Amino acid sequence: MPGGNGTGPAGGGPGTGRGKGQGQARGRKSGKAAGPGGNCTCPNCGATVAHQIGTPCYEVSCPKCGTGMVRK
């Protein structure tokens, strides 16, 4: 406080910051992962293959038509 007489800048007490730290952000897809099981499905021809852990379905090619698979 300049001069020590109580005439310093306003604000600065608790609860005056932006957001106050409430709420919590979630990751992609609202924090819900698809899990290790399930199938990869071709959006083009409908063929399905078992999902392999560690490999996203979009990196797997359809065994029938070669299109990238999607998770179902």
Model confidence pLDDT, tens digit, residues 4-30: 777 767 766 666 666 655 656 555 555
Residue 59 pLDDT: 96
Number of folded domains that form the chain: 1
Contact between residue 46 and residue 26 where contact means Cβ atoms under 8 Å apart: no
Sign of CA dihedral 48, 54, 57, 61: negative
What pTM did the predictor assign? Answer: 0.52
Distance CA(46)–CA(40), nearest Å, equals: 10
47 domain residue, yes or no: yes
46 domain residue, yes or no: yes
For residue 65, count other CB atoms closer than 10 A to its CB: 11
14 domain residue, yes or no: no
Site of tokens 């490999």: 55
Residue 6 pLDDT: 74
CA-based Rg of the chain, rounded to a whole angstrom? 26
Contact between residue 53 and residue 37 where contact means Cβ atoms under 8 Å apart: no
Residue range of the domain that includes 68: 34-72
